[in-house]
Each structure stands twice: as structure tokens, then as C-alpha cells.
Structure 1
Amino acid sequence: MGLLMSLSLLVGPVYAQDKAEPDPEARVARAEATLKAARASLDDADTPLTLDALSERAQSAKDDADAAAKALAPQLAQVNEQLAPLGEVADGITESREVAVQRAALGRQRNALDGTIKRAELAAVNASQLLADIDKMRVSQFSEELGRKVASPLSPALWHQVAEVAPSDTTRVVGLYRQGASAVRTAFKREGWGVPLLGLGVALVLFFPLRLWLRSAGRRYAASERAPKGRLRRSGLAVWLLAVGTLLPGLAAWTLLSALDSVGAIPPRLQTVSGHFLLATCFAAFIVALSASLLVPKRPSWRLLDLDDTAARNLRKYAWSAAAVSWISIMLVAVDHAARTSEVNTIALDGVIALTYLGLIMAMLVTLSRLHRRQTAEAAERAEAQAADARARGPAQRSGWMVLTRVAGNLVVVAAIIASLLGYLNFAKFVTQQLVWGGIVVLTMTLLLKFADDLCTAILHPDSRFGRTVVLTTGLSAAQVEQAGVLLSAVSRIGVVILAMLVFAAPFGNLGSVLGSIESLSHGISIGSITLEPGKVVLAVVVLLVGLALMQALQRWLVETYLPKTELDLGAQNSISTVARYVGIILAVLWALAALGIGFERLALVVSALSVGIGFGLQAITQNFVSGLILLAERPVKIGDWVKIGDQEGDIRRINVRSTEITVGDKSTLIVPNSELITKTVRNMTMGNAQGRIQIQFSVPLNTDVAAVKQVLLDAYAGHASVLQDPAPSVYIDSISGGQVAINSFAYTSSPRSTYGTRSDLFFSVLQELAGKGIALSAPTDIHLVGEGQR
């Protein structure tokens, strides 16, 4: 019953209140009266429906109290501001009569407001405690209901009891039918057939031609060139089919019921049945539309689930069966409550519903099992046919969601069968209905997750119309716009998951309390003296984005327009633009914090606390942290650079906020604090110019043909593929002394990393070529000391 009650809260009729909202004093009084009456009725609440009603009343009282306190708080602040200039009356001083009268009036007003606010806060606390007590009682009753044991539906005892009360229950149902038929005849006789027939005609038009035409129009648009490119056309069509397939039947049912109710054809005892008729129609239509959106038996290319045609057709039939079973079960339960049949008949009805759902679940599990076997066999055949590619393809494709569904379904089936045999029909009905409900929620969440991701990424794609507009107007890069689309997709998908969790948990308790909790969260979360409200958070994000956009525009103007017109050098221009960027970021953050409600005085407290922490030993950590921010912002070194610091050199692999990881030549990792890269001398081999330089030096005797030596070097440089021709290699005579000519030559490569190997190749080539031409290199002079006795 929890599922049906929650669904009725979700889609049931909502009656608007036309009365004007009372003043805060009246709302506090109403909240106190409501809480007193609800607390007095709590001991007599013995059914879930009664607890739900009490929970709604307690939540309404809490809302009244919170609204009253919130409305009176500004008035109290205003009165305190008016009293502040008057100050306190000093001893021995008599103030004027006008000031005394004004002080007394403001004091009475302040006391009255303060008292009312305290009453409202106390009422809110009492309402929260009452809601907690109701939840405890609901959990206790729910546990008792699930654990209640009756006769097994397979035993003759239960059906013997049903047969005994069948005549009286039949009389009650027939009486309910006669009451409804009498009301219809009386209403038609009094008001005529015009309005009911008009409602029936409109309902039929909504249900058949309009619904079918809208479905067909959606398919035609999705297949046309006007539809968005990519996956959005498929998920968008699925959402459209789901909306049309749910809203049109529900609107048709509501039109028919409204026409009958307008002429008084629905008696009071059948009002609940009519509401459940609307609920059952919407729920059944939702199941059918969801299956049509996800399965698409006739169009496999538009199918969102990994199913073959056979499984899609079978599951489509079971979806129709589930919709029919849900509609019939909701209506039977509604008629059973309206007719006030015996408890034995209600227990038997719950057992029949549980067994029906059980059979439906078992049929679906058989279909999924066959599908899994077919997918495994097809994967094995592909592996055999293409043995060479078997390792790339894998042995057999397994669907994780299918395995999980089968495991959960088998567990529920076993638990429901055992519970039914032992007589725990309420438990069996709950677990089977909850599995069906959970499956519907998960499938709906899957569809909405796909749609949210496709919509957000398509809207903020750089190639889309809106994405190009954002790039042109804000100056953001295409990658940044695409990243914004991914982030928006993540936020929207998180919202879908949270909503799905709330909807799934609705049958476990009163949905009104859950919605009340969400509403209270929407008013803000208090962290100390700061209240974070959703509206302020959104405003702060917008302000931050606008501030960063303005900062980027200003920096672009400085770099591209203003600074080139000045006489400053490039280093000064870069420093000015960098400082402007930092100042802009700081101002944007401060502006966003102000929009969030965090004033500068609180920031001053945070900075003071941070300075105290720094004074007690956080200097090094803070220094490395700030140095890391500078490295990430200014990028004097970046990932992939080849740097030399001290006697160590290597490639930068990662820059953290505290340290930088450098991979040295022996493949080990050197972890360097960021402050070392900021405060010490660092040689960046690849920062300004990514080219490497080769230097070859040697000496030849004075009588050597230096022109031939020069040509040998130039030919060696020209013959190596890694040596660049621009800048061109060069050969110089460095010096002539001691009967030797010092040759010095330079060449360049595309990367410093290739310098060592290229220089080694050139050495081999030059030595071989010089030896072939008979050109000898100068050798070190050996000096031998010979004594006089050895002459």
C-alpha cells in the first residue's frame, strides 16, 4: 500500500487555496493549534493513512512557524535600528516626554516581535520532534505489517475464510456500484448528457488521434535534417514519446472525470476511486510509454538498451502486462477500501496481487536469461570465426546491468515464494511491487541520464549554434565551452540521480515529509553564522563567471591593444598583464563571496586565523603552496619541459600545489618542492626555444688542410637527418697556438633530447671521414723526464 499512497501523493489532485496568507502572528497561532491537535491524535493513529495525515499537518505547522519567524526577523532588526540612536537613559537625566513615549512604544513593539519569533522557533522545534515521533511510529507499523503472518494462499484455510465472508463483501461491492449508478442516473437526468458526452469525446480525441499524431510528429522530426545531430535526436525522441504517452492518457482520464464530476455524477464514496482511476491510468500509461521509448521493437537503431529484437518484443509484451496488472491492482485496492470489505478479503487480494507480480517477474527473468544465452553464443561464434582477433574482441560479451537485474530478480522471486508459502503475504507483495517500482525508477533514470548528458553536451558543443554564440560573445575557447557542457551534464545527472533516489524511497514512508525536507533545504543550510541558500549559491556562481569573463576581456585588451602601444619591454608587459589577471581573479572571488553573503569582515577573520597558523609552523607549506599556484599560473616550467636544477636534470611529469615530480635519466622520480623552482636558478631546456645545440671541438696540426676539415664537418652535419639546416651548421677556428689549430663547430637539432645521440653519430662519422682522408688529429704531448745517469 505504501507504493499506491506515494503515487497518489505524486499525481493526485491538488486543490489550490484561494485564501490570502495570514499575518505572521496568526500563522504562529495556527501552527501551535495544529501541533497541539496533531500531538493529541498521535496516540490514536493506528493506520499508515492516519500517520500520513498527521505528518502533513506537522509539516504544515513547521512551514508556518518557519515562515512567520523569517517574516518577523527583518521587522525586529528595523525596530532595533530605530532604538539604537536613542541609547540608554543615563542616571539622573530626564529625557523629554516625546522621546520617552517613542522609546516605550518601540520597546513594546520589540518585545512583542521578539516574543512572537521565539514562539515560532519553539513551534518549529516541536514540529520537528513530532515529525520524528511520527516517523518512528510509521517504521514500527510498517515493520509490524510486513511481519504479520496469515494463512498461506496455498492452504484451504485462507480461501475457506474468504468464501465465508464472500456474500457480505459482495453485498458491499454491489451496494457501492448501485450508489455510483444511481448518482450517474440522477446527474444525467438533472443535467443532461451534453457535458459527459463532450468530456468523453474530448478524452477519446486526446487518447487516440492526438496522441498518435504527436508520436508520429516526433518521429518525423527526429528523422529530419532539422533535428540536432548526434545522440540527442535519439534520446530526445525517447523523452518526447515518454511525455506524450503519459500526459495524453492522463489528461484524457482527467477530462472524463472532470466532466462527470461537474454534473455531480461521482458520489462522495467514489471520489477516492475516481482519484485512483486517474492515478492508475497515468501509472499504466507511463509504463507503456517508457517501454516504447526504451525498447523500440520496430526500430532497432533507435533503441537505447542493448537488446536484440526478440528480447525487445517479449519485454514489450511484459511491459503491457505490467501496466495492465498495475492498473487492475490499483483499482481493486481502491474499490476494496471504498466498499469497506472484510480484512480476510483484503489479505487474499494482496496475495493474488503478489502472486501475479511474481509470475510477471519470473517471465521477464526467463526472457533476460534467454537473451544472455544468445549474446554469449553470438560472442563465442564471433571468437571462433575470427580466432586471430579473438584476444581483441574477448571471449563473451557480458552485460553488467543484465546480470545485476537477474540476480536481484531471482533473489526477490525466492524471497517472495518463501514468504507466500509461510503466510507473509504483505512482505511478498511489498518486495514484488518494490522490484517492479525499482525497475521503473531505474529505467526512467537511465533514460533521463542519457537525455541530460546529450542535451547539455549538445547545447554547449563548440559546433552548435549556442556554443558558437558563447565562444564569440564571451571570448572563451572552444575547449572551455565544451568543458562547461560536460560540467553542466554532470550537475544535471547528479540531480537526476538524487530525484530518482527520492522517488524510489517514496514507498517506504510519507512523501510529504521528504518533500518538506527538500523544501527546508531550499531555504538554506546554516554553517555557523553563514546561511548558504540555493539562490545565493547560483547568484555567486553567475557573479564569479561574469567577473572572470570581465577579467579575461580586460587582460586580452591589455595584451593585444594597450600594452603593445607602450614603450615597455615584453617582460614588463607580461608582468603587468599577469598582475592584472591575479587582481581580476581576486576581485571576482571577493565579488562572488559578497553575493554569497560572506562579508569582508569574515574574510578578515579567516586571513587572521591563517596568519596565526603560518606563524606556528606553516610557512614552508604555505610557501610551497603559493609557489605551486605561481607555477600553475605563470608556467615558468610546465609538464613536458626538460629542466636542470642543481646537478639534476629531467622531464617534468606532474606539477602539484606543493611539489613537482621530475623524471630523471635513470627513470627514477625526483620530487622537488615548488619553492625550489621559484627561488633558485632553474635551467629550462625547452622553454623559450625547443632546439638543441651540438658542439664538436678538436685540434689538428698546424700543417693540416683546415678547408678540408671544415668541409668534412659540414658534410657530416648535412648528411645526418636530425641536424637542422636552419639555423645552418657553422665551423670556426677557435685559436692557433702551440703548433695546433683549435676547431670549434656548432649544429642544431629539433629537440635537446636528441642532442646526445646525434652528437655521438657525428663523432663516428667525422672520425671515420678524417681517417679516410689521412687527416690526423693532435694528440696530447707526452713529457718524459730523463735523468743524467740514464743518458
Structure 2
Amino acid sequence: MTPFITALRNVLLGLVLVTGLAVPALAQLTAESRAYYQDWLKTANRAEEVIDASRASSAALETLRKELTSYRQRFLEARTENGDRIKTLEGQISALGKAPEEGESEPEDIAQLRASLEEQLRDLKVPRIVSEEAYSRANGLISEIDKIIRERRTRKLLERGPSPLNPEHWPGALRTLSRSASSIWNETASRIGSATTAERISNSLPALLLLLGIAAFLLLRGRPWAHAAGDYLRQFGSSGRGVWGFIVSLLEVILPFIGIICLAAAVELSGILGSRGTLLLDYVPGWALLVLSFHWLGNQLFSGRIENDLVPVQEGRLNETRLMVDILAVILVMQDALVKLENIETIPSSVHAVASFPLITAAALVLLRLHRIGAKRRQKQSADTAEDGAIAAGANRILTFARRASYLLGFVSPLLAALGYVNAAEALIYPAVSTLALLAALLVFQRFLGDVYGWLSGKGSAARESLFAVLIGFLLAALALPLLALIWGARVADMTELWSRFLEGFQIGDTRISPTAFLTFAVVFAAGYALTRLIQGSLRNSLLPKTKIDPGGQNAITSGLGYVGIFLSAVIAISMAGLDLSSLAIVAGALSVGIGFGLQTIVSNFVSGIILLIERPVSKGDWIEVGGLMGYVRDISVRSTRIETFDRTDVIVPNSDLISGTVTNYTRGNTVGRVIVPVGVAYGTEPRKVEAILTEIAKAHPMVLLNPAPYVVFQGFGADSLDFEIRAILRDVNWVLSVKSDMNYEIAKRFQEEGIEIPFMQRDIWIRNPEALSTGGAAPDSAESSSPPAPAIPPKLDVSDLQQDQEGEGEADADK
């Protein structure tokens, strides 16, 4: 039992003691436990008062929410404490049997033991009950705070303020902005001319010179250094050309950014800025990074090289497109500077509307211009889109959708701002720009990771269209979803709330399934599966081949080990993950009955597969015949067996057919088999001579066993021949066709040498009307005597004109 749980239990028991409902033995409470629970009660009561008053600012509510979240997390962890001990006590109480009914009694020893166990069980359940109640209260307070903040943001978003097109607001806005800029300038001028600043600069002169020198070198020489680094990296191979180019482009951003950081640090160290300037100076590196990043994205998207262009542009519009991207970055910086200035100065809403309207309009015009350039490019290059790769086509579809949405927002946002809905316009136009930048960054990083894969695998730029690149794209898109939600107004607290709910998991009976438990299950099962495959490979390749077990038995051992290993891996993984599936036993039992009826064929094949592995009537590599199919067994799986026929086609046979049907196994146990070669000779041939020749041929073949010796059978007298058969036992029945072919060749050769005739069927053809053949030979017409005579065409004969006679020996006769 943890100190926290003990403290909660003692606090609750103390509260019960105060109300007079507990025995004196439970009254001992520590000061620490009382203080902790009292702090929680004070925090919860204060939160309820703040929520009821609804006067606190959103920032104050966020702070209060963080405090409540920490309490809720501790209560969540405490809800599952002592679970094993509680189960043990419940099992002990259940072992004592059912409690006696009213008016009945049980032995005193059992009654005392039951009372003691029930008292321990109540004590252990107290912290869980307290934690459950406190968790529910904290969760409810957090939900109420989130609701208040969301309602405030919605009201602010839909609030209509002064129109920036009203000329009455222009002079006041100009004066306010000029006064703010003048105050910053005057503060800086006064600090520069002060003796304190001069003394500070003098004291920190070495550091200032160092920072300024680093900044100057990085800002002026950063780009050449980046290209020099790229030239050095290209020596490691052309397959990584995309990787080296990406690294060089990143260095072109990182080196100037470090220089700007050094420059800002030097300015801050000098102390020449006033309080307002110092506050704004803290944001300068971030603004510089924003501008550099947009410039980098523009160069990556619109590189001007066909092989590297993620978004091809119309010829002659490359520089204009990059300029539009840079202008968007400057607009975002100016908008953020306006927001930061409002945090420093008190600026009326009319001033904000007038100052923000030009930025909104400029951003909208840039988006419209980018859409127009893209439309021209699509009109000109529509014929090339069919040749794009799958990834490029998908990226183009996403960018086309984003471009159309930006085109719509480019019209809507300035209109909303002109009507006074400046907050709504800002909530549309700037997230749209940020979304486009995020999508562009995803495309760039997907291509970079594809190039890395191509470099490591040696595929080069072809890896950009590989399956790995597609999977990386999906992964990056999933990781970008939280960023996309934050861009469009989601709070960080909303994201953390979703993450905490995700980590909390869901409850099934008494079992809570969380991502941690699932990850533990996956890791343990994967490790067990890998270990099983490793042991199978070792047995198959190293140990079993050195034994006297036949190949079929070796395959059965490795397959059975695989089934056992996977089953044990699943059981161990469930146990390590802490999943208690006993509550699902009834549901699983009922479900298994339904599945059994629906999948009885599959279950039958599965059981048959296990029987095949145990009894092994058929093994891998056997030559079998089943159901009219003949071939070699190539694989025995859980459900079916794969047979390769002599036509080199695979036939999948259910395992149940091999168990319940008739199977002929030609190579079971050994490869010895019999070959029968039939042969016929003409009547009048000496049979004993034929027998001697055939016996000699059979014994001479190297595949024929001499023990038992081959023999010749005189089968009988056929219609046209004397029928003989060679019957011999082969060393390997798999060569039966080759042996028959070899023997037939040798028989034909020996019979020709010995003058033995092999009879064959002959037919006599009787022509009923031979005069019809002579009528077609008439003399040609005299008019055509100069040309060679055409061949006579015999009249067409029908079936009745032909008569077959199988009794003759050879010649056609036309003397009917």
C-alpha cells in the first residue's frame, strides 16, 4: 500500500471518526495525510467559487485547470491501487462459503475469520472509493472550466467590432500606432545616450564583439559554407544526392538563424533598448525563423528543376511565386508583432481593426494570386498530370483542395473584416496560411525521408515513389494532426486532455485496457513470436538435419513448435499486460458457439491439419494422389495443404479431404516403387525370345533393383498382338516416367535388331464410285486453250461414299 493511499484512507477514517461513526482504533491520522486532503478540499472549493462567479480571466482559469489536472492524475492512479490484494481477500471470503442467512449461524472460528477478512476488505476499499469520488469531482470541475473558456472564445470570435473602413477610426489608429512606435524609439534613444548604457557596453565589449563577429560571419558567409558542406557530402555517392541537397538547404536556414540569435543577444547585452524594445526583442529570433522557414519552403516547393519540383509552376513565374511566399511570412510577422504590441500597450479595438485590415487584405490578395498562378499552370500542363507518380498525384490533390479553400477564404476574410468581424477574419486567413505551410513542410520532409531510404537502400530517387515513402507520408500526416488542430484554434489543454483520456484507456468489466497495456502486450508478443521463429529456424537448418528423422517429421516438429510458441507468447503477453479476461469468459463462450456453427468447416480443417502433423500420413515432399489430383506436397498449413502437380500448378486441398478421403501416397516411408511397361509383338513371334530380350532390358537399367529381380509377364493374346509386361522395382519411383521412356527406346531398338515386329492397326478403304473421279478430267474449252489447264476439282463426297474395312492387311482396292 503506497503512502498516498494510506494517507487517503487515514483521512477518510479521520472524517468518519469526527462524525462519531468509527471505532477509536481508526482515529490515528498523520498530519501529512490531513494536510494533503485539506489542500484538495480547499482547491476544489475555490475552483467551484471561481466557476460560479465567472469573473476570472481565461489565463487564470487555465492556471486553475492545471492545478486540478495534477490532482486528477493522482486520483486516477489511486483508483487501481491494491487491486491484487482486494482480489485475494475476495477470494478468501468466497472460499468461506455463503454468509449465513438471518436466524442461521456458523462456527465461531469461521465467523471471526469472515469478520476479520471483511474488515480488511473495507479498509482496502476506502482509498479507492475516496479516489473515485475525488477523481469525479476534479474531472467535473475541469470540464466546467473548459466549457467557460470555449464559450468565451466563441463569443469573441463572433463579436462584431468597429469597421476598419470607417474613416472616423483612421486618425485615432494612426496616432495610437505612432505613439507606440515613438515610445519605443524614444526609450531606445534615451538608453543609447545614457552613461549607464555606455558603461555597460564598455564592460561587456569582448562578449559584444564576439557575438557581433559570429553574427556577421554566419549572416554573410553562411550560404557559401552550406554549399561547401554540400560539395563535401556529395563525395559519399550520387544515390544520396537528394539527402545532401536537403542538408545544404537546412544549413542555409540554420546558420543565418544562429547569426540572428547572436545579434539579438548582442543587442540585449548592450542594453540599448528600453523595456518595450526588450520585450519585442525576445520575439525577433522567432520572427526571423518564420521568414527563413517560409523562404526555405518556397525554394523547396518551387525549385525550378523538374526532378525536384514538388509543385511545378508556370514558366516565367518562379521568382514571383517565391516572392509571394516570402510576403506571406512578412505578413505573419507583422500580425504577430501587432498582437505582441497589444500585450504591451493598451490599444482600442478600433485601432486593432484598422491596423489588422491591411494585413488581412494583403494576405488574401497573395492567396488569390498564388491560386491564379496555379490555375494557369494547370491549364498549361494538364496533359502531364497523367504521368505523375502516385505520391505526386496524391500531393497534387491535397494541394489543389487546400488551394481552393484558400481561394475561398481569400474572398471571405476581407469581407468579414470590412463588416467588423475582424476576429473571425483573423481566425480564418492566418490559420489558412499556416495550414498551407504545414502541408508544404509535410511534402518536403516526406521527400527527404524517401531520399534517405533511397540512399540507404541504393535505389536513389526511385525510392520517392516506393511503399516506404507512402507509409512515411501517412505517419507524418498523423503526427501533424495535433499541430493542425492547434493552428485552427485548439488549446494546448484540449490536446493534453485528449492525450490523457487516450492514456487512460477504456474499461471492460474490471479490466482497464490502456495504450500502455496494449503496447506491453504487443512488445511481449512480438518478442515471443521472434524467439519462436528463431528457434524454428535453428531446428530446421542446424539441429534436425543432423538427426535420423525423415523430412516430414522434421517439418511436423517445426510446425508444431511454431503453434505452441505463438500460443505461449499470447498467454505470456496477456499476463504481462495485466489483462484480466475472466469477465469475458461467458461472452467468449457464447460467442465461440456461434462461431463454431459458422466456421465449422474452417475448424474442421484446422483440426485435420493438427492430425496431419501428428500422425503424418502425408508429409512435405511426398508424391500423393487425392481426389483425382496427383502431385508433390509442398506445404502443410493450418487450414489446407498445397500440392504441386506435374504441370507445375499449385492446387490447394483442404486438410479435411486428406483425413476423411482416400489418399494414395507413392513415397510414404521410402521412394521404392514399381514400374510396368506394356509391349505387344506380332503373332508368330517366339514368346520366350521376347521374354529374354525384355528381361535383359529391364536388368540393364540402372534404376531397377535386382532384388527382387525384374520379371516379364505374358499377359495374353490380344486382338492384334501378343501382350507382354515388364514389371520391375525402382530405386526411386519419382523416376518412373523416365524409366518407362528409356525402356521403350531400348525395346524399339532391340526389336528392330532381332526382326521382331510390333503390330499396329491398319485399315482398308473401299471407294464405291470411282467413276466420279474420272469425270472431273474433261478437256478445257477451246477459247481458253492458250492458258494452262486448271486442275480438275473432284466432286464433293459424302459419308455414304466411304466404307472402312478393318479386316484387310494393307492396300486400297478400286475394282468394285
Which TM-score tier does this pair reach, normalised by the shorter chain? 0.5 to 0.7
1:643, distance to aligned residue in structure 2 (A): 9.3
* RMSD over equivalenced CA pairs, Å: 6.3
1:287, distance to aligned residue in structure 2 (A): 1.3
Alpha-carbon distance in structure 2 between the residues aligned to 1:163 and 1:646: 98
Question: What residue in structure 2 maps to residue 520 of structure 1?
Answer: 500
Pair 1:502 & 2:482 matched: yes
Q: Using a 3 Å threshold, how does the CA distance of structure 1 residues 346 and 651 change in structure 2: closer, same or farther? A: farther
Question: What residue in structure 2 maps to residue 292 of structure 1?
Answer: 299
The answer to whether the 8 A contact 2:521-2:576 is kept is yes
Pair 1:331 & 2:330 matched: no
Pair 1:577 & 2:583 matched: no
The answer to whether the 8 A contact 1:661-1:671 is kept is yes
Pair 1:621 & 2:599 matched: yes
Q: 2:288 aligns with which of 281, 286, 289?
A: 281
Q: 1:201 aligns with which of 188, 212, 231?
A: 212
1:277, distance to aligned residue in structure 2 (A): 3.0
Higher mean Cα deviation, 549-558 or 131-140?
131-140
Question: What residue in structure 2 maps to residue 413 of structure 1?
Answer: 407
Alpha-carbon distance in structure 1 between the residues aligned to 2:665 and 2:225: 65
SS of the residue aligned with 1:192? Answer: helix
Alpha-carbon distance in structure 2 between the residues aligned to 1:555 and 1:462: 32
Pair 1:35 & 2:44 matched: no
Letter in 2 for 1:358: A
Alpha-carbon distance in structure 2 between the residues aligned to 1:543 and 1:458: 33
Question: What residue in structure 2 maps to residue 178 of structure 1?
Answer: 186
Q: Deviations over 1:195-224 (max 9, x none)?
A: 483585166157426743663355235412
Q: Deviations over 1:119-139 (max 9, x none)?
A: 541343124412541464156
Question: What residue in structure 2 maps to residue 212 of structure 1?
Answer: 223
Pair 1:317 & 2:323 matched: yes
1:570, distance to aligned residue in structure 2 (A): 3.4
Q: Deviations over 1:731-755 (max 9, x none)?
A: 9966341252246899x9xxx9xx9
Letter in 2 for 1:592: A
1:107, distance to aligned residue in structure 2 (A): 10
Alpha-carbon distance in structure 2 between the residues aligned to 1:250 and 1:630: 69
Alpha-carbon distance in structure 1 between the residues aligned to 2:520 and 2:454: 23
1:305, distance to aligned residue in structure 2 (A): 5.1
Question: What residue in structure 2 maps to residue 737 of structure 1?
Answer: 716
- Structure number with larger C-alpha Rg: 2
1:648, distance to aligned residue in structure 2 (A): 7.7
SS of the residue aligned with 1:735? Answer: strand
Q: Using a 3 Å threshold, how does the CA distance of structure 1 residues 370 and 656 change in structure 2: closer, same or farther? A: farther
Alpha-carbon distance in structure 2 between the residues aligned to 1:124 and 1:530: 23
Alpha-carbon distance in structure 2 between the residues aligned to 1:706 and 1:91: 103
Question: What residue in structure 2 maps to residue 124 of structure 1?
Answer: 138
Q: Using a 3 Å threshold, how does the CA distance of structure 1 residues 65 and 34 change in structure 2: closer, same or farther? A: farther
Alpha-carbon distance in structure 2 between the residues aligned to 1:199 and 1:26: 55
Q: Deviations over 1:630-683 (max 9, x none)?
A: 8699999999x999753689999999987899999xxxx999866445654467
Alpha-carbon distance in structure 1 between the residues aligned to 2:726 and 2:192: 113
Consecutive unaligned residues of structure 2, counting only runs of 5 or more, are: 1-33, 100-104, 110-114, 695-700, 705-709, 764-804, 808-816
Q: 1:598 aligns with which of 579, 603, 615?
A: 579
Letter in 2 for 1:440: A
Q: 1:347 aligns with which of 353, 371, 386?
A: 353
Letter in 1 for 2:714: S
1:165, distance to aligned residue in structure 2 (A): 4.5
Q: Using a 3 Å threshold, how does the CA distance of structure 1 residues 199 and 610 change in structure 2: closer, same or farther? A: same
The answer to whether the 8 A contact 2:294-2:329 is kept is yes
SS of the residue aligned with 1:777? Answer: coil
The answer to whether the 8 A contact 2:302-2:312 is kept is no
Letter in 2 for 1:284: V
Question: What residue in structure 1 maps to residue 568 of structure 2?
Answer: 587
SS of the residue aligned with 2:599? Answer: helix
Alpha-carbon distance in structure 2 between the residues aligned to 1:398 and 1:462: 21
Letter in 1 for 2:287: A
Question: What residue in structure 1 maps to residue 787 of structure 2?
Answer: none
Alpha-carbon distance in structure 1 between the residues aligned to 2:393 and 2:215: 42
Question: What residue in structure 1 maps to residue 25 of structure 2?
Answer: none
The answer to whether the 8 A contact 2:78-2:131 is kept is no
Alpha-carbon distance in structure 2 between the residues aligned to 1:609 and 1:732: 69
Question: What residue in structure 1 maps to residue 437 of structure 2?
Answer: 440
Alpha-carbon distance in structure 1 between the residues aligned to 2:558 and 2:634: 28
Letter in 2 for 1:552: R
Q: Using a 3 Å threshold, how does the CA distance of structure 1 residues 274 and 149 change in structure 2: closer, same or farther? A: same
Q: Using a 3 Å threshold, how does the CA distance of structure 1 residues 336 and 632 change in structure 2: closer, same or farther? A: farther
Question: What residue in structure 2 maps to residue 3 of structure 1?
Answer: none
Alpha-carbon distance in structure 2 between the residues aligned to 1:686 and 1:362: 78
Question: What residue in structure 2 maps to residue 717 of structure 1?
Answer: none
Alpha-carbon distance in structure 2 between the residues aligned to 1:532 and 1:111: 21
SS of the residue aligned with 1:737? Answer: strand
1:614, distance to aligned residue in structure 2 (A): 3.9
The answer to whether the 8 A contact 1:638-1:652 is kept is yes
Q: Using a 3 Å threshold, how does the CA distance of structure 1 residues 488 and 91 change in structure 2: closer, same or farther? A: farther
1:360, distance to aligned residue in structure 2 (A): 1.6
1:442, distance to aligned residue in structure 2 (A): 0.8
Alpha-carbon distance in structure 1 between the residues aligned to 2:690 and 2:314: 77
**Aligned-residue identity in percent:** 17
Q: Deviations over 1:714-737 (max 9, x none)?
A: xxxxxxxxxxx9999xx9966341
1:280, distance to aligned residue in structure 2 (A): 1.9
1:440, distance to aligned residue in structure 2 (A): 0.8
* Alignment coverage as a number of residue pairs: 675
Higher mean Cα deviation, 654-663 or 288-297?
654-663
Q: 1:192 aligns with which of 198, 201, 212?
A: 201
Higher mean Cα deviation, 499-508 or 643-652?
643-652
Q: Using a 3 Å threshold, how does the CA distance of structure 1 residues 267 and 587 change in structure 2: closer, same or farther? A: farther
The answer to whether the 8 A contact 2:212-2:262 is kept is no
Question: What residue in structure 2 maps to residue 63 of structure 1?
Answer: 70
The answer to whether the 8 A contact 2:44-2:138 is kept is no
Q: Deviations over 1:18-38 (max 9, x none)?
A: xxxx99658746853673465
Alpha-carbon distance in structure 2 between the residues aligned to 1:332 and 1:28: 41
Letter in 2 for 1:505: A
SS of the residue aligned with 1:702? Answer: coil
Q: Using a 3 Å threshold, how does the CA distance of structure 1 residues 675 and 142 change in structure 2: closer, same or farther? A: farther
Letter in 1 for 2:289: C
| TM-score calculated relative to the size of structure 2 | 0.63
Pair 1:546 & 2:540 matched: no
1:441, distance to aligned residue in structure 2 (A): 0.8
Alpha-carbon distance in structure 2 between the residues aligned to 1:84 and 1:683: 57
Alpha-carbon distance in structure 2 between the residues aligned to 1:71 and 1:256: 51
1:325, distance to aligned residue in structure 2 (A): 2.7
Consecutive unaligned residues of structure 1, counting only runs of 5 or more, are: 1-21, 95-99, 381-391, 465-481, 714-724, 784-791
The answer to whether the 8 A contact 1:59-1:127 is kept is no
Letter in 2 for 1:32: A
SS of the residue aligned with 1:362? Answer: helix
| TM-score calculated relative to the size of structure 1 | 0.65
Higher mean Cα deviation, 117-126 or 624-633?
624-633
1:438, distance to aligned residue in structure 2 (A): 1.5
Alpha-carbon distance in structure 2 between the residues aligned to 1:109 and 1:653: 64
Q: 1:223 aligns with which of 234, 249, 263?
A: 234
Q: Using a 3 Å threshold, how does the CA distance of structure 1 residues 333 and 565 change in structure 2: closer, same or farther? A: closer
The answer to whether the 8 A contact 1:696-1:744 is kept is yes
